C-alpha cells in the first residue's frame, strides 16, 4: 500500500535555493512526486494549515514551556503568560507570519510508509537537534532557544505531515485533484 504525504519547503528553504537538493533526497529513496508547485500563500490560507484549535495550541504551548524550563528561561517574563493555550496561539501566529513571508514549494510525495520515511529524512523539528544527514541537520542551524528568545517560529527549512490523517487533510488543502498525477 502506498501512502501520501505533504512536504512544504518553507520560505527560508526557497531563499537558500535548495529545492532541487531536497527533491533529490526524496526521489533517491524511491518516493514519487505526485504533485509539486511553487505558491505564495497569504495568512488566511496559512491559518487553515495551522488550525486554530485549543488541543493544537495546548500541545505546542506545552512544548514551548518545556523548552523554556530546559533553557532556564521565564516564559511569563518573556511571553507574558505561562498558559500553554495562549502560548500555542502565539506560536501559531508566528508560524502564519513566517509561512506567508515568501514563496513555498509544496509537494505531494507517494510511497510505502511515506509519512514515516519523510519524517526521518527531514529530521528533528529543531535544526540544532537534527542529526547530520537529515534535511534540517544539513540546511539549518536555528534553535528553539534562539527562536523563543526572539519570539518567532523556528526557521527549519521544511514541513512534513506528521501523520496519515494530517497528510490527508494537507493534501486536500494544498492540492486540487487536477494537480495530482498518477503514473
Residue extents of the structural domains in the chain: 1-40+106-142+156-176
Strands (E), the chain: 3-9, 32-39, 104-111, 158-160
Predicted TM-score (pTM) of this structure: 0.93
pLDDT at residue 88, as a whole number: 94
pLDDT at residue 28, as a whole number: 97
Q: Is the pLDDT of residue 38 over 80?
A: yes
Q: How far apart are CA 7 and CA 144, in angstroms?
A: 21
- 65 CB burial (10 A radius; 0-12, 13-18, 19+): buried
Q: How far apart are CA 108 and CA 7, in angstroms?
A: 6
Asked whether the beta carbons of 126 and 143 are under 8 A apart, the reply is yes
Average pLDDT over residues 152-160: 96
Reported as a single tens digit per residue, the pLDDT across 58-72 is 999 999 999 899 889
- 68 CB burial (10 A radius; 0-12, 13-18, 19+): buried
pLDDT at residue 114, as a whole number: 98
Query: What Å distances lie between residue 121 and 7, 58, 154, CA to CA?
Result: 11, 27, 18
The pLDDT-based confidence of 2 (bands split at 50, 70, 90) is confident
pLDDT at residue 1, as a whole number: 63
Higher pLDDT, residue 148 or 123:
123
pLDDT at residue 25, as a whole number: 98
Q: Is the pLDDT of residue 163 over 80?
A: yes
Q: How far apart are CA 109 and CA 25, in angstroms?
A: 12
Q: How far apart are CA 101 and CA 144, in angstroms?
A: 20
3-state secondary structure (DSSP) of residue 77: helix
* Architecture of the domain defined by 1-40+106-142+156-176: 2-Layer Sandwich (3.30)
* Catalytic choice (49, 57, 159, 171): 159
Q: Which of 181, 174, 180, 179 is nearest to 8 (CA)?
A: 174
159 in active site: yes
Q: Is the pLDDT of residue 107 over 80?
A: yes
Amino acid at each position: 500500500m502506498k501512502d501520501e504525504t505533504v512536504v512544504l519547503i518553507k520560505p527560508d528553504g526557497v531563499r537558500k535555493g535548495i529545492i532541487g537538493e531536497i527533491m533529490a533526497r526524496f526521489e533517491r529513496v524511491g518516493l514519487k512526486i505526485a504533485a509539486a508547485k511553487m505558491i505564495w500563500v497569504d495568512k488566511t490560507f496559512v491559518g487553515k494549515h495551522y488550525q486554530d484549535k485549543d488541543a493544537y495550541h495546548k500541545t505546542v504551548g506545552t512544548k514551548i514551556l518545556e523548552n523554556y524550563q530546559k533553557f532556564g528561561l521565564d516564559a511569563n517574563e518573556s511571553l507574558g503568560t505561562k498558559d500553554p493555550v495562549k502560548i500555542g496561539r502565539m506560536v501559531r501566529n508566528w508560524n502564519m507570519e513566517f509561512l506567508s513571508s515568501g514563496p513555498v514549494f509544496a509537494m505531494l510525495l507517494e510511497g510505502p510508509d511515506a509519512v514515516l520515511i519523510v519524517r526521518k529524512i527531514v529530521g528533528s523539528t529543531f535544526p540544532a537537534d537534527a542529526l547530520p544527514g537529515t534535511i534540517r541537520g544539513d540546511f539549518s542551524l536555528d534553535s528553539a532557544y534562539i527562536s523563543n528568545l526572539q519570539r518567532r517560529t523556528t526557521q527549519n527549512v521544511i514541513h512534513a505531515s506528521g501523520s496519515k490523517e494530517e497528510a490527508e487533510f494537507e493534501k486536500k488543502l494544498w492540492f486540487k485533484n487536477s494537480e495530482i498525477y498518477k503514473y
